[in-house]
Amino acid sequence: MPARDNTTPVEMDPGSYKTFDAHYYNLVRKRRGLFQSDAALLTDSATNAYVQLQATTDGITFMEDFAESHGENGSNRRAHRLYW
């Protein structure tokens, strides 16, 4: 008899899981994040300010910030390939 799948999928961004947007910050601001790391964003003044900005401005800088950070990470990966 095959093993039963007892896993339960959980949306990490309920209400917006099919859309790439800043809705996540609204949940964090309302203390409805799923992970301890979500709650930790509110304990640091800099990250708390960023959460508040994104939650109250409908993610005014989210896409630009994401693109910038993704570009930085991508360039780091390219550089690391030289050493691996």
Of 23, 75, 77, whose CA–CA distance to 54 is shortest? 23
58: annotated binding-site residue? no
Measured between alpha carbons, how far is 30 from 37 in angstroms, rounded to an integer?
Answer: 14
The answer to whether 39 and 31 have CB atoms below 8 angstroms apart is yes
44: annotated binding-site residue? no
Binding residues: 13, 21
Annotated binding-site ranges for Ca(2+): 13, 21
